[in-house]
Amino acid sequence: MYTVFDDFLQTLFPNYCLGCKSAVPKKTILCLHCLSELPATNSHFSNSNPLVKLLHQLTTISYATSLFYFEQQGLVQQLIHQLKYMNREQLGSLFGAQLGQKLVNSPFLSCDLVVPIPLHKRRHRQRGYNQVSQFGQQLAKQLQIDYVPQNLVRHKATKTLVRLNAHQRTAQIKDAFSVVDSSVFAGKHLLLVDDVVTTGTTLSGAANCLLQIKGVRVSVATIAFAKSPLP
Ligand SMILES: [Zn+2]
């Protein structure tokens, strides 16, 4: 129930945009200006987009898309940081809903299940949540398919992969993932989701693990994609 106390709180703590800190209406997390500034890839229907090309060098995927481009010091990097380290899980929901709406009538509609890249349980405990969870759940809702978070697990805590060379990255990620019950995934087209793709090593490591299950196809959807490798 709305009370005068709410009004008082609202004056003390007005809602602000997570991008530019300007005041926004209640329950809004990004202002219209910031929303329009986000660098959308709009490459969801192209099966030769840069993300597909990157992942095809590493694994066998059916489709791949990303909502935004990721740039150093850019707005997307700032928002992903808040999503990952500052409990701003609402950003994941917003981006999942946005991408889901864009994927209507796309080949992604043939996916059966949404599967998030899992965190190692120690990292999960430290952070308290998986930052791709809300993104994946909203995406599943829009595509009207199930979200399956517990069946793909990560039993190896990997260090930041970006600073390693390709050979070291592949060695780090090898055997990092496993599946609890492969019958849940057998014969299914899985939509693997993650926050940011940089080298593609983590996603391809997970995809290679999933592709060992009979009849599995893997597609990929992420919030952001770094077109050029990060320094
Ligand atoms: Zn803003």
Residue 165 CA to ligand 1 centre (angstroms): 37
Residue 17 lies in a domain: yes
Per the structure block, which two tokens stand in for 6?
A: 């709410």
What is the CATH number for 93?
3.40.50.2020
Residue 103 lies in a domain: yes
Q: Residue 162: which pLDDT band, with cuts at 50, 70 and 90? A: low
The answer, yes or no, to whether residue 158 has pLDDT greater than 80, is: no
Judge if 32 and 93 occupy the same domain: no
Per the structure block, which two tokens stand in for 93?
A: 């929901």
Residue 24 CA to ligand 1 centre (angstroms): 8
Judge if 13 and 98 occupy the same domain: no
Q: Is 181 exposed, middle or buried (0-12, 13-18, 19+ CB in 10 A)?
A: exposed
Residue 18 CA to ligand 1 centre (angstroms): 6
Residue 75 CA to ligand 1 centre (angstroms): 10
The answer, yes or no, to whether residue 230 has pLDDT greater than 70, is: no
Judge if 189 and 112 occupy the same domain: yes
Q: Is 114 exposed, middle or buried (0-12, 13-18, 19+ CB in 10 A)?
A: buried
Per the structure block, which two tokens stand in for 139?
A: 């995406």
Residue 41 CA to ligand 1 centre (angstroms): 20
Residue 93 CA to ligand 1 centre (angstroms): 17
Q: Residue 88: which pLDDT band, with cuts at 50, 70 and 90? A: very high
The answer, yes or no, to whether residue 178 has pLDDT greater than 60, is: yes
Residue 9 is predicted with a pLDDT of: 56
Range of the domain at 8: 1-37
When the pLDDT of each residue in the chain is averaged and rounded to a whole number, the result is 89
Residue 230 lies in a domain: no
Residue 167 CA to ligand 1 centre (angstroms): 40
Judge if 80 and 28 occupy the same domain: no
Judge if 20 and 116 occupy the same domain: no
The predicted model scores a pTM of 0.89
Residue 231 lies in a domain: no
Residue 90 is predicted with a pLDDT of: 93
- Give how many domains the chain has, as a whole number: 2
Judge if 23 and 61 occupy the same domain: no
Judge if 140 and 59 occupy the same domain: yes
Half-sphere exposure (Cβ direction) of 183: Cα atoms closer than 13 Å: 0
Judge if 91 and 150 occupy the same domain: yes
Low-confidence winner among 42-46, 123-127, 226-230 (lowest mean pLDDT):
226-230
Residue 12 is predicted with a pLDDT of: 58
The answer, yes or no, to whether residue 171 has pLDDT greater than 80, is: no
Q: Which has more pLDDT, 97 or 166? A: 97
Residue 142 CA to ligand 1 centre (angstroms): 25
Judge if 1 and 83 occupy the same domain: no
Residue 174 lies in a domain: yes
Residue 94 lies in a domain: yes
Residue 140 CA to ligand 1 centre (angstroms): 27
For the segment 190-226, what is each residue's pLDDT rounded down to a tens digit?
A: 999 999 999 999 999 999 999 999 999 999 999 999 9
Judge if 138 and 211 occupy the same domain: yes
The answer, yes or no, to whether residue 231 has pLDDT greater than 50, is: no
Residue 46 lies in a domain: yes
Find tokens 């993300």 and name the residue.
Answer: 51
Residue 133 CA to ligand 1 centre (angstroms): 24
Q: Residue 8: which pLDDT band, with cuts at 50, 70 and 90? A: low
Low-confidence winner among 80-94, 126-140, 161-175, 204-218 (lowest mean pLDDT):
161-175
Judge if 184 and 134 occupy the same domain: yes
Judge if 115 and 150 occupy the same domain: yes
